[in-house]
């Protein structure tokens, strides 16, 4: 060991985990939203002046907030199923996405107050799903010893196709909710309950798919450049097997690199 080795105490300084912070903040607000909407259903009126959920949207808001709270565990479930540790930044963005889609979008009615709110969320979801699809494919090819098949263009195309596939299933989910439960997930009804007809009725669905595609193209471009230039977030999964290692093991590797 050399005399200029860094002390171990320098690695023990507490750091803010953005992923955990985003998770607990979103979980707390989501649970509050669910309990609040249940109380509104029982009492028949809103308790807080800045939260004014329309009576026709109350059931939809409650369902979305319940599903959003459950969806906060999706990154952990994906990690256990695929044994891939997703980037902390990607997980944090997913938690914030849930917050914007349920608490802000449904509780504060930002879907109606900000016309592009829904489009922004679909654009962000296209990026996140495209990133996950490319990470999943690269890790699969590496585990199968097929690294020669990791073509930047192939990864980019897969990211777009994966994101669009999920986007189509999401629109099916919204259609099923509207048809079976009488909700307004596809926004075929205006805030006052007036029904849209013709092209206006399918405008939301087509707009969502188009914006999903744009977000997927952004993720595909990032994946392409990462593999092409052999650096960045996606290349890390190809260059090293750190994605499958426990957090403590990666921490030990960092310490040994400076002590040896």
pLDDT digits (tens, 9 = 90+) for 9-53: 444 445 668 899 999 999 999 999 999 999 888 887 777 776 766
125 belongs to a structural domain:
yes
3 belongs to a structural domain:
no
Which parts of the chain have pLDDT scores under 70?
1-16, 50, 52-56, 149, 191-192, 240-260
Which residues are CB-contacts of 61 (< 8 A; sequence separation ≥ 6)?
37, 53, 106, 107
Distance (Å, whole) CA 251 – CA 174: 43
103 belongs to a structural domain:
yes
Tokens of 233: 């977030």
10 belongs to a structural domain:
no
For residue 84, the enclosing domain spans 17-246
pTM tops 0.85, yes or no:
no
114 belongs to a structural domain:
yes
Q: How many domains does the chain have?
A: 1
Confidence (pLDDT) at 106:
84
Which residues are CB-contacts of 203 (< 8 A; sequence separation ≥ 6)?
196
């Amino acid at each position: 060991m050399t005399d200029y080795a860094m002390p171990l105490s320098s690695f023990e300084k507490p750091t803010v985990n953005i992923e955990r912070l985003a998770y607990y903040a979103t979980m707390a607000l989501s649970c509050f939203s669910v309990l609040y909407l249940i109380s509104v259903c029982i009492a028949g009126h809103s308790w807080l002046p800045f939260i004014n959920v329309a009576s026709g949207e109350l059931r939809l808001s409650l369902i979305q907030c319940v599903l959003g709270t459950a969806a906060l565990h999706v990154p952990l479930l994906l990690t256990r199923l695929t044994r891939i540790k997703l980037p902390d930044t990607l997980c944090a963005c997913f938690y914030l996405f849930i917050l914007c889609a349920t608490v802000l979008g449904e509780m504060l009615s930002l879907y109606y107050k900000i016309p592009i709110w829904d489009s922004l969320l679909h654009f962000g979801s296209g990026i996140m799903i495209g990133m996950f699809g490319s990470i999943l494919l690269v890790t699969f090819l590496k585990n199968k010893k097929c690294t020669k098949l990791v073509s930047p263009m192939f990864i980019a195309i897969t990211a777009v196709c994966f994101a669009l596939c999920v986007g189509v299933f999401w629109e099916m989910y919204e259609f099923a909710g509207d048809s079976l439960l009488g909700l307004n997930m596809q926004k075929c009804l205006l805030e006052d309950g007036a029904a849209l007809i013709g092209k206006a009725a399918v405008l939301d669905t087509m707009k969502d798919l188009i914006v999903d595609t744009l977000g997927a193209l952004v993720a595909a471009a990032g994946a392409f450049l990462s593999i092409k230039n052999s650096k960045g977030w996606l290349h890390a999964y190809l260059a090293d097997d750190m994605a499958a290692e426990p957090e403590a093991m990666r921490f030990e590797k960092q310490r040994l690199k400076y002590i040896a």
